Amino acid sequence: MLDIWFYEAFEEEAETLRRRLGPQYRCAFSKGTIQEDGHTEPPARLISIRTQSVVPPAWAGRAGAVLSRSTGYDHLITFRAHAAQSIPCGFLEEYATNAVAEQALLLTLSLLRRLPRQVRQMPQFNRDGLTGRECAGCRLLVVGVGRIGGRIVELGRAVGMEVKGVDLAPKRADLEYLAPAAGMAWADVIVAAMNLTGENRGYFDYERLRQAKPGCLFVNIARGELSPPDGLIRLLEDGVLGGVGLDVYDHEDELGMALRGGDRTGPAARAVEKLQSFPNVVLTPHNAFNTREALERKSQMSVDQIDAFFATGKFLWQLE
């Protein structure tokens, strides 16, 4: 049996991990998820995934541990809840705060300046309907002001936005916090930066976002389960939302498999296809974390976790 099998390892990540791991471990890398690779038995002592793989509960005890190369670990909690026995489940400390926050600003700027329409109309050099808006004076609401949300606050202020927050546990003395309904009515741009929990799944549904003022932009760089796509589509059709920027998606495991396989018949793929048909929507493939700097940090943290597990049987950061 191999020491480590890395699922969901895109090309640059696999190269960086190989370089940092060295020859001491017997490893294999796959771009696919566990489901896509069709493995019915764990192919290595240590299984490493990202967020789209669903680890079979029966693998608990057959594999020695699971390491998710992500800071989010709700999928590990789900795995452990269904597993017959407990095995070490590790995750990473925050490695991409700035990268994800910058992606939120990128999506926001793309929507404010109508970038998708600009690109579509370039072949005709047509400027009709392309008048955008500057950041200065724009009202930005950050929902979930943790490490990433806090950095979004700073970046928003740096480009001249007026920024307020929504959070269950307000911590920043330099930021005004609003109740959710008041924030929706106030904002020109709403950015979802909150953690996913069992209580907030579907938080940005149709009814909540319908409280937004007409033309408001919505950006989600947190978790797709927070913003069901059917509601976003209705809000775009009704003209409540002036634009949507997403880097994360509901049922992302299903969506990733479908799009990589060229199958757009499932509900998740059909919803994304519908969203892509709007000229005021920007979608990116859960790539906010993916900068050279963050990738180096992520790979080193992964190696630190691997070394700790093989030396002690435990991870540095793991579910208790």
How far, in Å, CA of 190 to CA of 209, rounded?
A: 9
How far, in Å, CA of 26 to CA of 5, rounded?
A: 9
pLDDT tens figures, 137-149 = 999 999 999 999 9
CATH number attached to the domain at 97-283: 3.40.50.720
How far, in Å, CA of 220 to CA of 192, rounded?
A: 5
pLDDT at 198: 85
pLDDT at 263: 87
CB 109 within 8 A of CB 85: no
pLDDT at 1: 87
CB 253 within 8 A of CB 33: yes
Q: Which CATH superfamily is domain 2-95+292-312 in?
A: NAD(P)-binding Rossmann-like Domain (3.40.50.720)
Per the prediction, the chain carries an average pLDDT of: 96
Domains 2-95+292-312 and 97-283 agree in fold: yes
Average pLDDT over residues 264-269: 93
pLDDT at 307 over 90: yes
pLDDT at 7: 98
- Nearest CA to 52 among 295, 286, 303? 286
pLDDT at 210 over 90: yes
SS (H, E, C) the chain: CEEEEECCCCHHHHHHHHHHHHHHCCEEECCCCHHHHCCCCCCEEEEEECCCCCCCHHHECCECEEEECCCCCHHHHHHHHHCCCCCCEECCCCCCHHHHHHHHHHHHHHHHCCHHHHHHHHHHCCCCCCCCCCCCCCEEEEECCCHHHHHHHHHHHHCCCEEEEECCCCCCCCCCECCHHHHHHHCCEEEECCCCCCCCCCCCCHHHHCCCCCCEEEEECCCHHHCCHHHHHHHHHHCCEEEEEECCCCCHHHHHHHHHCCCCCCHHHHHHHHHHCCCCEEECCCCCCCCHHHHHHHHHHHHHHHHHHHHHCCCCCECC
pLDDT at 134 over 90: yes
pLDDT tens figures, 70-128 = 998 989 999 999 998 999 999 999 999 999 999 999 999 999 999 999 999 999 999 99
pLDDT tens figures, 213-260 = 999 999 999 999 999 999 999 999 999 999 999 999 999 999 999 999
Q: Is the pTM of this model over 0.85?
A: yes
pLDDT at 208 over 90: yes
pLDDT classification of 204: cutoffs 50, 70, 90:
very high
CB 78 within 8 A of CB 303: no
Both tokens assigned to 79: 């795995």
pLDDT at 27: 97
Average pLDDT over residues 31-50: 96
Percent of the chain scoring above 70 in pLDDT:
100
| Residue type for position 218 | F
Average pLDDT over residues 296-307: 98
pLDDT at 84: 85
Question: Which burial class, exposed, middle or buried, applies to 119 when counting CB atoms under 10 A from its CB (0-12, 13-18, 19+)?
Answer: exposed
pLDDT at 293 over 90: yes
* CA-atom Rg of the chain in angstroms: 21
pLDDT tens figures, 55-72 = 999 999 999 999 999 998
Both tokens assigned to 164: 């307020």
Where exactly are the structural domains of the chain?
A: 2-95+292-312, 97-283
pLDDT at 65: 98
